[in-house]
Amino acid sequence: MLLRVTTFLLCQALGAALGGWRAGAWGALAGACVGAWLWLGWDAWRGARVLAWLRQGDVAAAPGLRGLWGEVADRARRLLRQGQQREQASRAQLQGILAALQASPNGVTLLDAQGRIEWCNRIAQEHFGFDAERDALQSVGNLVRDPAFSAYCAARDFAHDVVLPGRHSTDSHPVRVSAQLHPYGEGRLLLLSRDITALEQADAMRRDFVANVSHEIRTPLTVLAGFVETLQTLPLPDGERLRYLGLMAQQATRMHHLVQDLLTLSRLEGSPLPDMHEWTAVAPLLARCEQEARALSQALHGDTGAVAQQIVFPAAEVLRSAGQLAGSPGELHSALANLINNAVRYTPAGGRIEVQWQPLAGGGARLAVIDSGPGIAPEHLPRITERFYRVDRSRSRDTGGTGLGLAIVKHVLQRHGAQLAISSVLGRGSVFAVEFSPGGVRAQPVLPLL
């Protein structure tokens, strides 16, 4: 400020000295005025340069001035640079927030006070068919035309969600989306959506499972209770009493098998994956399955006088070269025994059950269980491995099945990296084939000679 005043006075003094030298006292006064006006013009020009730069807003183009206007320009330049830095930081923070919302597994849609779309992430676009660019500032009520959603928005009760059909929902593959509005800011709304199809399916499976278990246990309990009441109230001949006791034992055995299968499924679903460094020889594993299958066939058809089933297993030389399977011996036996015993149960007397073992090119192996039973209709094949799903409930009860065998097989094979393929022709039999991956099969090690 002192420099500014000094410069102003110096200009007046120079003007007065020049005017006095040329025209005396009046010339000195006129020269002082002219000097003052020249300084004001020069100062105004410097101020105009600063003002023009401020209007331009380019920090790098700041004028190089000294004095008061130079200090004003320097301070303004620092303030502008700080403002730009804050703006860049805010923009980066906003982009980070939007990127996080974009990565969210749930749909996120930002609505203004009028319910118009300001922004939405990719999941929201999949749920509702939005387009972030095309539908910007479009009313969400015009784009989501489900009556339940319209009623939800009109009620203004956002304490709960509303369940809507998804964009790609069909009758054969329903998709369910949960949507909920959350008010924020000055009248704005946050629309959160998530796909609950799997949750609803799991809940439906849980309800079906509980209902099926209750039904499967209630039936033999009802039979047992009826037989017990009969034995308690009626004097029966010894032969009739023995027949009733045999039927009671049959129902008790059925409940025992059901509980055992339920425990097996629970253990498979809750336990860690098997150790794939543990190896089980195929030959003794199939030999044990063969022994159990022949015993089951004898129990089912031995007392009927019918022609026995023909059960064929691989020849001894084939089994000697079959090698070993990786994984839990108990689980592998459970899966293979279930497949073979199912074939025995559902193949009538006089039928044929054949078990084949075949190495695959490139490693791995295929075990096939082929029967000449009644076969399975095509519409049942996709659901045959579901819990308690039965093609024929009465036939399953007659053969002693629990409806959990193939579900156990599916879980065991998934845990061991194997695949189950089922093919069947109604009236001509079925083929249940297990394909083991190359990493799950190895050749039988040769023991050194002593």
SS3 259: helix
Residue 371 has pLDDT above 90, yes or no: yes
What are 294's two structure tokens?
């022949």
Contact between 108 and 121 (Cβ < 8 Å): yes
Q: Which stretches does DSSP call E strand in 75-172?
A: 107-111, 117-120, 162-165
- CATH 3.30.450.20 range(s) for the chain read 105-195
Which band of pLDDT confidence, cut at 50, 70 and 90, is reported for residue 394? low
- CATH 3.30.565.10 range(s) for the chain read 275-450
Which band of pLDDT confidence, cut at 50, 70 and 90, is reported for residue 13? low
b (16+ CB within 10 A) / e for 404-421: bbbbbbbbbbebbbbebe
- Mean per-residue pLDDT of the chain: 80
Contact between 328 and 274 (Cβ < 8 Å): yes
Could you give the CA distance from residue 312 to residue 329 in angstroms, rounded to a whole number?
23
SS3 181: strand
What are 268's two structure tokens?
């498979």
What are 57's two structure tokens?
């807003």
Contact between 196 and 177 (Cβ < 8 Å): yes
DSSP letter string, 211-225: HHHHHHHHHHHHHHH
Q: What's the pLDDT score for residue 1?
A: 57
Could you give the CA distance from residue 26 to residue 34 in angstroms, rounded to a whole number?
12
pLDDT tens readout for residues 71-127: 666 777 777 777 777 888 888 887 787 788 888 888 899 999 888 998 888 888 888
Which band of pLDDT confidence, cut at 50, 70 and 90, is reported for residue 233? confident
Q: Which residue type, as a one-letter code, is found at position 242? A: L
Contact between 132 and 120 (Cβ < 8 Å): yes
What are 70's two structure tokens?
């130079």
Q: What's the pLDDT score for residue 449?
A: 45
Residue 144 has pLDDT above 60, yes or no: yes
Residue 399 has pLDDT above 60, yes or no: no
For the structural domain made of 105-195, what CATH number should be given?
A: 3.30.450.20
Q: What's the pLDDT score for residue 236?
A: 78
Choose between 3 and 78: higher pLDDT: 78
Strands 352-359 and 310-312: parallel
pTM of the shown model: 0.55
From 131-140, 160-169, 258-267, 298-307, the region with the lowest mean pLDDT:
298-307
Residue 385 has pLDDT above 90, yes or no: no
Q: What's the pLDDT score for residue 298?
A: 86
SS3 442: strand
Q: What's the pLDDT score for residue 87?
A: 80
Contact between 346 and 398 (Cβ < 8 Å): no
Q: What's the pLDDT score for residue 369?
A: 94
Residue 179 has pLDDT above 60, yes or no: yes
Which residues on adjacent β-strands are paired with residue 442? 324
Residue 141 has pLDDT above 70, yes or no: yes
Contact between 423 and 430 (Cβ < 8 Å): yes
Could you give the CA distance from residue 235 to residue 241 in angstroms, rounded to a whole number?
9
* Whether domain 204-271 has CATH 3.90.320.10: no
What are 425's two structure tokens?
């022709």
DSSP letter string, 287-343: HHHHHHHHHHHHHHHTTTTPPPPEEE---HHHHHTS-EEES-HHHHHHHHHHHHHHH
What are 46's two structure tokens?
């410097």
Residue 366 has pLDDT above 80, yes or no: yes
Q: What's the pLDDT score for residue 427?
A: 86
CATH architecture of residue range(s) 275-450:
2-Layer Sandwich (3.30)
Residue 258 has pLDDT above 50, yes or no: yes
pLDDT tens readout for residues 199-227: 877 777 677 667 767 767 777 788 888 87
Could you give the CA distance from residue 342 to residue 401 in angstroms, rounded to a whole number?
8
Which band of pLDDT confidence, cut at 50, 70 and 90, is reported for residue 288? very high
